[in-house]
């Protein structure tokens, strides 16, 4: 029984990480394309440190991953299951595979 609860705890952590309006908007943006922090900051209209904090929560939960490009880090949704849930919720399909 402990094994099955572990699976639910992991999923619960992911949902908790997404349970903020700014993080949901961030994820909705990342469904369309990979974005760097500056692009996400403009989309969210919040400070860069605040944007980075939201990304950290999502990274820690294993939902997004960052890839360093020169002096920037670009993010994408890394969890395929969460990505499918978001696609189902927001409707339509992602634009870039």
Q: What DSSP character marks residue 73? A: E
Q: What is the mean pLDDT of the chain?
A: 90
2-90: CATH, from 3.40.50.300, 1.10.10.10, 3.90.226.10, 1.20.1270.360 = 1.10.10.10
> Domain coordinates of the chain in residue numbers?
2-90
Q: What does the pLDDT look like over 1-21, one tens digit per residue?
A: 567 788 899 899 999 999 999
Cα angle vertex 22, ends 18, 25, to 5°?
Answer: 85
């Amino acid at each position: 029984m402990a094994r099955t609860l572990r699976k639910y705890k992991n999923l619960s952590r992911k949902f908790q990480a997404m349970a903020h309006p700014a993080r949901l908007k961030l994820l909705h943006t990342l469904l369309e394309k990979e974005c760097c922090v500056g692009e996400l900051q403009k989309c969210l209209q919040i400070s860069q440190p605040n944007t980075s904090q939201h990304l950290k929560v999502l990274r820690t939960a294993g939902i997004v991953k960052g890839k360093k490009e020169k002096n920037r880090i670009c993010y994408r949704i890394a969890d395929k299951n969460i990505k499918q849930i978001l696609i189902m919720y927001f409707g339509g399909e992602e634009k870039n595979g």
